[in-house]
Amino acid sequence: MKRAFTLIELLVVIAIIAILAAILFPVFAQAKAAAKKTQSLSNIKQLALAVKMYQADYDDVYPVGCGSCWWQPRDGGWTYGILPYMKNWEILRSPGDPKDKAGWQGWTKTHPDFVHISYASNGVMIWQDNNWGMRGLMGLNQKNGTECGWFDGPGVTPESAVNNVATTVMFTERNNSAPTWGPSNFMAGVTWWDGAGYPGAWPDGTRDGTPYRFRTDWGSGAEFIANMDNRNGAVSTNWQNKACFAWADGHASVVNPVSTNPDPTNRPQDNLWNAYRQ
C-alpha cells in the first residue's frame, strides 16, 4: 500500500519553504546590491584614473567639466577629454542608476548624441571676491570670456592649486544627466540649472531633510524629485544612504554625502567640494 502525504505534512513543507524563502531572499537582495555598489565604485575609480592619466599629458591640469558654450565635443568637457584614457562609455553609467529620462528636457530624450551618464564632476561655483567663480575641480570654464562666457575663473584647476587632494571631491554619483549639452556632467553646487533638468545642489547637513525637487524646461515642465533627502543635494544615495566618490588624488570610496559638507556656514574648512579651501 502506497502512503501519500497528509495535508498536515504538505502544509508543514510549504511553511518550511516559505520560511527559508523569507530568510534567503533578503540575503540575495543584499548580495546583489553589494555587487552593484562594487561595480559602481570600480567605475568611478576608473574615471579618476583616466583623469590622472589626462593630467600627466596636460601639465597636471584637470579637464574642464563643460566648455563655455555648453556643447560637447565642440568646446570641451571632461567626458570627451578623458575618452582616450577610458575607451569605454559604459563606465560612465552606475548600475544603481535607473536611467530614467523622465527628468530630461524633451528635445534631449531623442537626440542621438545624448547618452546616460551617472557620474558628475565637482564643478562647484562659489561666491567669492564679489564674483561667482568655479571653485571645484572640473566645472564650467568661461574664464576667458568667449562668446558664451560670463563667469570669472579659475576656468581650469591645476593640481598644484589644490590644498587637500586626498579630501577634495573629483566625482560622485548623480542621476538624471546627459553628457553632451549643458551643465549636465558636473555639479555646480547651485540650483540655477535645475530648470534645464540638471539638479546641481551640493550636500548640506543643515537642510531640513525634505525632498529636493527640480523641474525641466526652465520651470515649465513637470516636477521631479532629485533626492528624497535634500541634505544629500543632487548626490544619488543608492547604497544605504551612501554614494560612491572619487577624490582629487585618484582614490575612491563610499561615503555619506552629508559628510562632504556638514555645515557650510560654520565649518567651511570641511566643505570637501571647495578645491581651494585652506
Domain ranges of the chain: 7-270
The reported pLDDT for the residue numbered 55 is: 96
Q: Per-residue pLDDT tens for 164-205? A: 999 999 999 997 777 777 788 899 999 988 888 889 999 999
Across 4-8, 21-25, 50-54, 224-228, which has the greatest mean pLDDT?
A: 50-54
| Residue 258 or residue 80, greater confidence | 258
The reported pLDDT for the residue numbered 144 is: 61
The reported pLDDT for the residue numbered 219 is: 67
The reported pLDDT for the residue numbered 136 is: 92
Contact 259, 144 (CB under 8 A): no
The reported pLDDT for the residue numbered 190 is: 92
Q: Per-residue pLDDT tens for 117-150? A: 899 999 998 887 777 888 899 988 877 655 676 6
Q: In which residue are the cell numbers 568655479 written? A: 134
**What is the percent of the chain where pLDDT is above 90?**
46
The reported pLDDT for the residue numbered 160 is: 92
The reported pLDDT for the residue numbered 243 is: 96
pLDDT at residue 5 is higher than 70 = no
Q: In whole angstroms, give the CA distance from residue 227 to residue 208.
A: 13
Mean pLDDT of 221-232: 90
Q: Decide: residue 166, CB within 10 A, 0-12 exposed, 13-18 middle, 19+ buried.
A: exposed
* Residues 144, 48, 154: CA angle, nearest 5 degrees: 20
The reported pLDDT for the residue numbered 152 is: 65
The reported pLDDT for the residue numbered 63 is: 93
Q: Per-residue pLDDT tens for 66-101? A: 888 888 777 788 998 998 998 788 899 899 888 888
Task: Supply the mean pLDDT for the chain.
Answer: 86
Phi, psi (degrees; rounded to nearest 5) at 209: 85, 5
| Residue 258 or residue 64, greater confidence | 258
